[in-house]
């Protein structure tokens, strides 16, 4: 093909290849694994090891076999559990039963949404449904309930158990209680029906909250017809177009996309009612009380105190930011007379660009994915004595050819676990950055440890002929965040998989991931790995300072918005009554806690899926950020590579997963009381520093 290339084009291609070779020469094995285009060869002779090296999962049919094996083993473990003398062995058997089912259910749950082959995804969905059906049956199994009840309600037995075993026993008992097993037959049946209805309503609301909205073209001004997607005689709006420089588009999108939908309103109202009904049926005043029982916050009163106090402290700071944004808009568009909700996102980003002079394209040249992974590995080596090592993927082990497998290796403990990195864009891939637990860690009966397996899913560009995958500052932040979840799973060393790693209270689960965001925006950490992918120049200090400064711009208004969302979520699940509308709740909270005016005939909350997925726990992100900020400022701010503090962080927080009260972990780590007022102080200071 070379003879068809023009001389200049050929010269340019040669130079690109030379630059690529120069860059590759400076990358170590870890960086090269992420920066090079995956070269997975056709392998006709090696043995297919099955997805995640599970032998049954060599083909879609294997999911049925894996499900049947798990269910068969599960019934055997149940039989042993109900016949053993109540005590520690009861809890161990419960956890083994949970692990047996979770290893199939969690893996299937991931494959059903991530595998590009519909035969695999459908087979995985069937397996997941089958395990879920068995779990529902176990949740109403009276013999199983009685055997854990005989542990948790026997004072002498409980006192003979260690703290983690007590915690796990109580969690299993709590799962039974919220399913309504202790109720009489009629009430138990009602609880089952409500749980089934809640599952369906949750699924429906999630779907409705993301659905595009269509309006007849004849109902809208002609000038809109060319600005939105047309399908037949309708205009379709599928987003807010928040980044559009055209205010007309932003306003129209806001008003139309958030236009109150009676069907979605009915779904959310019934979901809130059903959640409250089932909570009261099983003995809680409200759904919020049920949801918060095992969290750091403990109860709705503490959440309200935290959020209301934070809101009051933020108000004067937000007013100044809002005045700045209004002035900035006038400077950009002198004829404008007001600052509206559809302006907020757009002008916050514009202000950050102007004040910090942040050009994501310019910065991305210093953030190749391989260099970022090197930076994470070096950081983890300093803090915990672990490194990230790319290991070969065997035939049939992954669901796509560009998956990179990492071993997390401790310098004395050996391999702690494995992370499968599903980082690159592909058609049909779920549009979310997230962490999936495939197999939880736990101590086995022979004293060895069942190593954890997790998947990290991101949405990054793949390597090209001319350059490696390059990340923007925001995607670097996302990478560090998700790696925080992964390392929580890797570094935990719980006895029971039921509480391993991220299987902890929601308001603590985000602490390790949010803490990693502080490392990602630290000047010393950035200087250690951010290098130009061609010249290998270190990211200049001036650019680092601008990036760190931009991270704090408009922080208080963004935080106040999160407080608003969290308070709406709390009121929805604490004092929503039949006959009320969701707008009644939102309008009241809006009047007291939000700084932008409400827009008539719109209902933003009907487009907010977190009300379904978090359910009274949306405050968790703010509380986790407060705890992470305390840990950062007290333990790592002076030295982000401090091994002594890293080891302390692992032993006092990460290793326990959900096996210890998070408030006690906070107190052990920081040597101070868990205090809501101090957490608020921390967030206020953090937003201003």
Residues designated catalytic: 482
Instruction: Name the token pair of 211.
Output: 């659905």
User: How far apart are the C-alpha atoms of 466 and 471, rounded to whole Å?
Assistant: 15
Cβ atoms 442, 449 nearer than 8 A: yes
Residue 461 vs residues 37, 354, 455: alpha-carbon distances, Å = 11, 27, 18
Give residues with Cβ within 8 angstroms of 196, minimum separation 6. Answer: none
CA 685 to chain centre: 25
CA 157 to chain centre: 37
Instruction: Name the token pair of 574.
Output: 């604490």
Q: Rounded to 5 degrees, what angle do the CA atoms 290, 291, 294 make? A: 90
Q: Rounded to 5 degrees, what angle do the CA atoms 580, 581, 583 make? A: 135
User: How far apart are the C-alpha atoms of 431 and 422, rounded to whole Å?
Assistant: 12
Residue 30 vs residues 34, 387, 400, 542: alpha-carbon distances, Å = 7, 10, 19, 28
Q: What are the backbone dihedrals phi and psi of residue 216, each rounded to the nearest 5 degrees, phi first? A: -60, 135
Number of Cβ atoms within 10 Å of the Cβ of 418: 21
Residue 562 vs residues 103, 293, 589, 595: alpha-carbon distances, Å = 35, 22, 12, 12
Taking Cα atoms as reference points, which of 371, 256, 316, 302 lies closest to residue 604? 256
Q: For residue 462, count CB atoms less than 10 angstroms from its CB and return exposed for 0-12, middle for 13-18, buried for 19 or more.
A: middle
Measured N-to-C along each axis, helices 300-332 and 555-574 cross at an angle, to the nearest 10 degrees, of 140
Taking Cα atoms as reference points, which of 306, 304, 313, 308 lies closest to residue 556? 313
Give residues with Cβ within 8 angstroms of 419, minimum separation 6. Answer: 388, 405, 406, 408, 454, 455, 456, 486, 490
Q: What is the DSSP letter of 415?
A: E
Q: Rounded to 5 degrees, what angle do the CA atoms 565, 571, 574 make? A: 140
Residue 286 vs residues 130, 132, 359, 661: alpha-carbon distances, Å = 31, 26, 48, 23
- 466: helix, strand or coil: coil
Number of Cβ atoms within 10 Å of the Cβ of 689: 10
Residue written as tokens 């002609």? 222
CA 462 to chain centre: 22
User: How far apart are the C-alpha atoms of 75 and 138, rounded to whole Å?
Assistant: 10
User: How far apart are the C-alpha atoms of 360 and 353, rounded to whole Å?
Assistant: 9
Cβ atoms 386, 410 nearer than 8 A: yes
- 395: helix, strand or coil: coil
Instruction: Name the token pair of 595.
Output: 């700084």
Number of Cβ atoms within 10 Å of the Cβ of 47: 11
Number of Cβ atoms within 10 Å of the Cβ of 336: 14
β-bridge partners, 234: 216, 231
């Amino acid at each position: 093909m070379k003879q068809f290339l023009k001389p200049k084009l050929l010269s340019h291609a040669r130079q690109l290849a030379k630059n690529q070779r120069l860059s590759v020469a400076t990358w170590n094995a870890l960086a090269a694994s992420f920066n090079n285009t995956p070269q997975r060869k056709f392998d006709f002779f090696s043995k297919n090891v099955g997805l995640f090296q599970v032998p049954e999962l060599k083909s879609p049919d294997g999911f049925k076999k894996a499900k049947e094996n798990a269910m068969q083993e599960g019934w055997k473990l149940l039989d042993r559990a109900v016949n053993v003398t109540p005590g520690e062995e009861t809890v161990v058997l419960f956890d083994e039963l949970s692990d047996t089912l979770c290893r199939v259910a969690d893996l299937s749950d991931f494959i059903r949404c991530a595998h590009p082959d519909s035969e695999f995804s459908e087979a995985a969905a069937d397996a997941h449904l089958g395990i879920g059906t068995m779990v529902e049956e176990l949740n109403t199994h009276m013999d199983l309930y009685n055997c854990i009840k005989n542990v948790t309600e026997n004072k002498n037995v409980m006192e003979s158990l260690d703290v983690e075993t007590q915690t796990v026993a109580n969690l299993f008992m709590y799962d039974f209680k919220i399913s309504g097993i202790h109720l009489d037959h009629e009430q138990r049946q009602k609880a089952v029906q409500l749980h089934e209805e809640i599952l369906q309503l949750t699924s429906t609301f999630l779907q409705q909250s993301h659905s595009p909205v269509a309006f007849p073209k004849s109902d809208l001004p002609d000038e809109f017809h060319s600005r939105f997607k047309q399908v037949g005689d309708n205009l379709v709006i599928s987003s807010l177009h928040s980044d559009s420089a055209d205010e007309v588009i932003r306003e129209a999108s806001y008003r139309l996309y958030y236009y109150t939908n009676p069907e979605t309103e009915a779904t959310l109202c019934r979901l809130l009612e059903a959640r409250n009904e089932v909570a009261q049926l099983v003995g809680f005043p409200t759904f919020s009380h049920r949801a918060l029982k095992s969290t750091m916050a403990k109860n709705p009163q503490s959440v309200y105190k935290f959020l209301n106090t934070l809101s009051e402290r933020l108000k004067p700071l937000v007013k100044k930011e809002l005045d700045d944004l209004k002035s900035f808009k006038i400077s950009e568009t002198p004829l404008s007379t007001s600052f509206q909700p559809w302006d907020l996102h757009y002008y916050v980003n514009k202000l950050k660009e102007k004040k910090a002079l942040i050009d994501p394209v310019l910065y991305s040249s210093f953030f190749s994915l391989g260099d970022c992974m090197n930076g994470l590995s070096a950081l983890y080596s300093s803090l915990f004595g672990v490194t990230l090592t790319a290991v070969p993927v065997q035939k049939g082990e992954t669901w796509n050819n560009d998956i990179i497998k990492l071993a997390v290796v401790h310098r004395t403990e050996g391999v702690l676990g494995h992370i499968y990195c599903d980082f690159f864009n592909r058609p049909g891939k779920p549009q979310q950055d997230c962490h999936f637990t495939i197999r939880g860690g736990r101590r086995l009966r022979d004293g060895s440890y069942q190593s954890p397996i997790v998947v990290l899913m991101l949405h990054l560009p793949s390597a090209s002929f001319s350059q490696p995958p390059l990340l923007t500052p925001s995607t670097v932040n996302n990478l560090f965040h998700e790696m925080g979840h992964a390392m929580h799973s890797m570094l935990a060393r719980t006895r029971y998989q039921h509480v391993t790693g991220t299987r902890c209270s929601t308001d603590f689960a985000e602490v390790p991931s949010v803490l990693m965001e502080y490392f990602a925006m630290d000047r010393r950490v950035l200087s250690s790995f951010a290098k130009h992918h061609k010249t290998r120049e270190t990211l200049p200090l001036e650019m680092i300072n601008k990036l760190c400064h931009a991270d704090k711009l408009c922080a208080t208004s963004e935080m106040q918005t999160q407080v608003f969302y969290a308070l709406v979520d709390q009121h929805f699940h604490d004092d929503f009554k039949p006959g009320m509308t969701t707008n009644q709740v939102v309008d009241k909270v809006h009047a007291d806690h939000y700084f932008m005016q409400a827009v008539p005939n719109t209902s933003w909350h009907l487009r907010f899926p977190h009300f379904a997925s978090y359910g009274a726990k949306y405050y968790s992100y703010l509380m986790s950020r407060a705890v992470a900020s305390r840990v950062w400022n007290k333990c790592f701010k002076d030295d982000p590579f401090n091994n002594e503090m890293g080891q302390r962080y692992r032993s006092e927080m990460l290793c326990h997963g959900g096996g210890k009260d998070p408030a006690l972990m906070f107190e052990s780590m920081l040597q101070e009381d868990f205090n809501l007022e101090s957490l608020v102080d921390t967030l206020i200071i953090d937003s201003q520093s």
